Amino acid sequence: MDALRNDRRPLVVITGGLGRVATVLRPHLRAQYRLRLVDRAIQVGSIPAQHDVEVLHADIGDPDTAYQAFDGADAILHLAANSSPWQSWDSVYAANVRSAQVVVEAAAAHGVPKIVLASSIHAMGEYNRPAYWPVSPRLDPRPCCPYGLGKVVVEALARSHADRTGASVTCLRLGLTGWPLTERRYLGQWLSDGDAGRLVLAALQAREPYGVHFGVSANTRNHWDITSARTELGYRPQDDSEQLADATGPSSGPVCRLFDESQTPEEGEK
């Protein structure tokens, strides 16, 4: 790790650093940052063999681990979470809310000046109806499931952290990220791999005191308003899900209340 120690680029610690979203983001971030990846689920062959990437096999929900992981960090990208919309509130609290609390407390102890936190459109899922499109991030939260409710609580923790410490905190309510776009109902919330990188780089460089923004591409089916991400972060999306629309198919089944059960997915996507 001598090369990593001698590299003077800013250090970004990524929780959930070997997960689906982090795997999409790492190639974009490595151009500007040193990376320290923290993940408890390391499988054989999953660790990147790169001189400027450090890997810590640990549970970020453990306070001692989090304190160790954030030593020397210039920024934290908090991605670690259980993203299932079907989990119970007890599971959401244990896996997502409690770990986020540990993260902000350890960040405060080290005086880390920037946190980018992965929230979700599930925090606003009850607005995913034609009457509200494009949904404004300034509306009051209306989660569609326990997972979304957990993200609302995490956003509140993040805001409290920003107020208490003066750190810059950006919450990104991500849409469909790192998954293949196979169903029509996701066309309005798709975030391409390239735009995901552009969004997170913009968020890491922003110095807003606290902000919450939707994270989707420049989709023709404009369901989630990304105006604030454009104007306040400098996000410049380049991709549009409409280019992939012909290859998508019908829905595979219910997904909490993110999609209105009183209408068919096709009706909701027109």
Does residue 147 have an active-site annotation? yes
Rounded distance between C-alpha atoms, residue 44 and residue 145, angstroms: 34
Is the pLDDT at 151 greater than 80? The verdict is yes
The pLDDT tens digits of the residues spanning 187-203 come to 999 999 999 999 999 99
What is the helix, strand, coil percentage profile of the chain, to 5?
Answer: 40, 20, 40
User: Mean pLDDT lowest for which of 48-57, 238-247, 260-269?
Assistant: 260-269
Give residue 265's pLDDT band: very low, low, confident or very high (50, 70, 90): very low
Mean predicted lDDT score pLDDT of the chain:
92
Q: What is the mean pLDDT of residues 49-72?
A: 91
Supply the CATH number for residue 113's domain.
3.40.50.720
Q: What is the DSSP string of 63-86?
A: HHHHHHHTTT-SEEEE------TT
More confident residue, 7 or 77: 77
40-49, 147-156, 203-212: segment of lowest average pLDDT: 40-49
Query: How many structural domains compose the chain?
Result: 1
- Closest by CA to 168, choosing from 111, 207, 214, is 207
Amino acid present at 55: V
Domain membership of residue 219 as a residue range: 2-269
At 270, the pLDDT band (50, 70, 90 cuts) reads very low
Are 77 and 204 in contact, with CB atoms under 8 Å apart? Answer: yes
Q: What's the token pair of residue 148?
A: 């979304």
Whole-number pLDDT of residue 266: 47
- Active-site residue, from 67, 93, 127, 147: 147
Which DSSP helix (H) or strand (E) runs through 214? strand 210-215
CA atoms of 102 and 104, how far apart (whole Å):
6
